[in-house]
Amino acid sequence: MEKTTLFDKIWDAHVVKSVPSGPDVFFIDKHFIHEVTSPVAFLNLEKRGIGVKNPSRTVATPDHNVPTVDQDKTIKDKLSRMQVERLRENCARYGIELHDLGSAHHGIVHVIGPELGITQPGMTIVCGDSHTSTHGAFGAIAFGIGTSEVEMVLATQCIMQSKAKKMRITIDGVAGKGVTSKDLILYVIAQISAAGATGYFVEYGGSAIQSLSMEARMTVCNMSIEMGARGGLIAPDETTFEYLKGKEYAPKGEAWDKAVAYWKTLKTDEDAVFDKEYHFDAADIEPMITYGTNPGMGIKIIGNIPTTEGMEGSNKTSYLKSLAYMGFEPGEAIMGKKVDFVFVGSCTNGRIEDIRSVAEFVKGHKKAENITAWIVPGSREVEKMAHEEGLVKILEEAGFELRQPGCSACLAMNDDKIPSGKYAVSTSNRNFEGRQGPGARTMLASPLTVAAVAIAGEICDPREVFEN
Amino acid sequence: MAYDKFTVLTSTAVPLPTDNVDTDQIIPARFLKATEREGFGDNLFRDWRYDVEGNPKRDFVLNDPTYNGKILVSGRNFGSGSSREHAVWALYDYGFRCVVSSFFADIFKNNCLNIGVLPVTVSPGFADKLLDTITANPAATITVDIPSQKITLDSTGESESFDINEYKKDNIQHGFDDIDYLLNMSEEIDAFAADK
């Protein structure tokens, strides 16, 4: 029998038909929608005079542009309010499950899916959001789609999709102190570049990946898109099953045993061939930070910003444009740079484990005076746990401002914007120009590094702050 | 939904020799609040095109009346980042029907093909040649021929072939979209879904 990868197994089981010299008609098990990329899809269904084929396969939540304060009140911004109201109307009209603002299960779509057990191994999952790759942490094929494709899924439960090439990224070994899964993925992206996995679907493996918690695996898979990958996935194992067991939407009783038996078959055959393979040693990885305007522009925090040596043409022009935007010079160190804001949150690092690590770190300390520190839980559930575990108290005493769940300053669609010219160290996923507000300068790092920066008021090595 | 179909496009082109143009630059998130697909062209490249007061930035190519046309020629890794289809709506609404680059991000490329903006991938050398020529001579035209899958710099006759699968090639020439196709195979999908 032909040796196949995990990606092949799930993909091939969901192909309804292969169009000759064209894409596959690809069946979608679970579809997540939010307020920003769905309204035009619903509008088009209406124009075509068709409905939603299988409403029970779609789950909705408003997250991208919701305010993170006063969520119990009417949304002040008219356009944001209209989008959220349109989502409510569409869900009511077509019978789609909605986890609305203020409800117990509200949150960022990629946080609530796993947290509720909706996300499961072997599934095909799509959403009109590129960070849908997060769900790959469970051994699912999960990827972001455009609004036309959202419309396709609503109308037919399928999309037209060409199968991506296959890449495996293996990280073996043990990472050092102060190195988190965010550092692993920022390191990988810096090594292979922001376009290094374009055209590929990535499987992550190796002992350093297998030893990660589900939350940490989600951080890795979440950022697959930041190296251009269509998505990323990790074979399910006991850590996965343990996480899912007892979750509200996970199978129960006999159905659970049957599901686990199937999930255990979901792995890459030993001699299966990938189109591209990378191997990294976790011991080489140190706390990372980005200095430029795409996530591939990352260095170890104790390192220097690369010089332009060896660069030419549009490559060099684009590099210098990026550094000019950031207000940095080629070759200089990043340690000691003054910071104005820190942001803990997003679908990358807005889960309970992230908030725990920040709270543990800042306990008994105060944030530096020059820092505004925002902490935005990924969901109501995360917020609730943070309160129950006493983390909120610790964070507030340290001078952090806890806000309500949503995408918040990760993409700054709501009022949570970093002012022009200011520096923010963020646990989010993108450092693009203006991503956190027009003119905002973003540096991406782990929750641990962000906690250390909040205390020091400048870029610093979390390992040193640890020792002090 | 149906879009303007085309088979052969000859047009002057706009040069944007920047690498890694992400979809946050093409249309910043704060302009994604509409519930209809209208008017996105006004905010295409908003923060590169206008200053904070809303005045056009003179050094940005879309504000330079010398350059115009239905084709945008850009640097490497165009359309990376967010899956927002609004980026393609903005390009389309502004008047672009074709984007040329030596490298496109995956989701962006799919979105383009679904909206009727043709993404043409050329070699890095040819991309540089196109950028240099149209920058120096704004009247230079480029011809994109879908049936023969060929892109030509008309002033010199230099050309390259480009990839597009037969299915999408047919769609874009006839203005069809994937939903038309999928709705026609509803029974097959139902039979498949019965096991899921």
CA–CA min distance A449, chain B (Å): 24
Please name the CATH architecture into which domain B8-193 falls. Alpha-Beta Barrel (3.20)
Q: Which residue type is seen at A270?
A: E
Shared domain check, A196 and A253: no
Please answer whether residues A30 and A59 qualify as being in contact, where contact means their C-beta atoms are separated by less than 8 angstroms: yes
The mean predicted confidence, pLDDT, of chain A is 97
Please answer whether residues B5 and B174 qualify as being in contact, where contact means their C-beta atoms are separated by less than 8 angstroms: yes
Average pLDDT over residues A412-418: 96
Does a structural domain hold residue A309?
yes
Neighbour tally for A234: CB within 10 Å:
26
- Distance of alpha carbon B134 from alpha carbon B67, whole angstroms: 9
Average pLDDT over residues B108-123: 96
**In chain A, how many domains are there?**
3
Shared domain check, A257 and A160: yes
Decide if B2 touches A, using CB distance below 8 A: no
Shared domain check, A199 and A156: no
CATH number of the domain that residue A206 is part of: 3.40.1060.10
- Distance of alpha carbon A16 from alpha carbon A274, whole angstroms: 24
Reported as a single tens digit per residue, the pLDDT across A329-348 is 999 999 999 999 999 999 99
Q: Which residues of chain B neighbour A50 with C-beta distances below 8 Å?
A: 183
Percent above pLDDT 70 for chain A: 99
- Among the partner-chain residues A23, A156, A432, the one whose CB lies closest to the CB of B24 is A432
> Which of B87, B80, B85, B5 lies closest to A40 in space, CA to CA?
B85
Shared domain check, A299 and A160: no
Decide if B25 touches A, using CB distance below 8 A: yes
Average pLDDT over residues B34-48: 95
Shared domain check, A338 and A212: no
Buried b (16+ CB within 10 A) or exposed e, A260-287: beebeebbbeeebebeeebebebeebbb
0.95 exceeded by pTM? yes
Q: Mind giving me the DSSP string for A297-359?
A: -EEETTSB----TT--HHHHHHHHHHHHHHT--TT-B-TT-B--EEEE-HHHH-SHHHHHHHH
Q: Which residue's structure tokens are 């959001």?
A: A129
Chain B, residues 133-192, CB within 8 A of chain A, namely 165-168, 177-179, 181-183, 185-186, 188-189, 192
So what's the pLDDT on residue B196? 82
In chain B, whose CA is at the least distance from the CA of A411? B29
Shared domain check, A338 and A363: yes
Shared domain check, A390 and A242: no
Does a structural domain hold residue A1?
no
Shared domain check, A330 and A402: yes
A16 contacts B189? CB cut-off 8 A: yes
Shared domain check, A279 and A259: no
> Which of A286, A266, A263, A144 lies closest to A205 in space, CA to CA?
A266
Q: Per DSSP, what are the bridge partners of residue B5? A: none
So what's the pLDDT on residue A468? 54
ipTM: 0.96
Decide if B59 touches A, using CB distance below 8 A: no
What residues make up the domain containing A213? Answer: 166-230+271-284
Shared domain check, A104 and A153: yes
Enumerate the domain spans of chain B.
8-193
Please report, in range form, the residues annotated as the binding site of A for [4Fe-4S] cluster. Answer: 347, 407, 410
Reported as a single tens digit per residue, the pLDDT across A72-84 is 999 999 999 999 9
CATH number of the domain that residue A390 is part of: 3.30.499.10
Decide if B1 touches A, using CB distance below 8 A: yes
Shared domain check, A18 and A157: yes
> Which of A188, A199, A209, A191 lies closest to A274 in space, CA to CA?
A199
- Distance of alpha carbon A157 from alpha carbon A92, whole angstroms: 19
Decide if B22 touches A, using CB distance below 8 A: yes
- Among the partner-chain residues B37, B115, B182, the one whose CB lies closest to the CB of A156 is B182
Q: Which residue type is seen at A340?
A: D
- Among the partner-chain residues B32, B104, B181, the one whose CB lies closest to the CB of A413 is B32
Does a structural domain hold residue A408?
yes
Shared domain check, A215 and A310: no
So what's the pLDDT on residue B2? 58
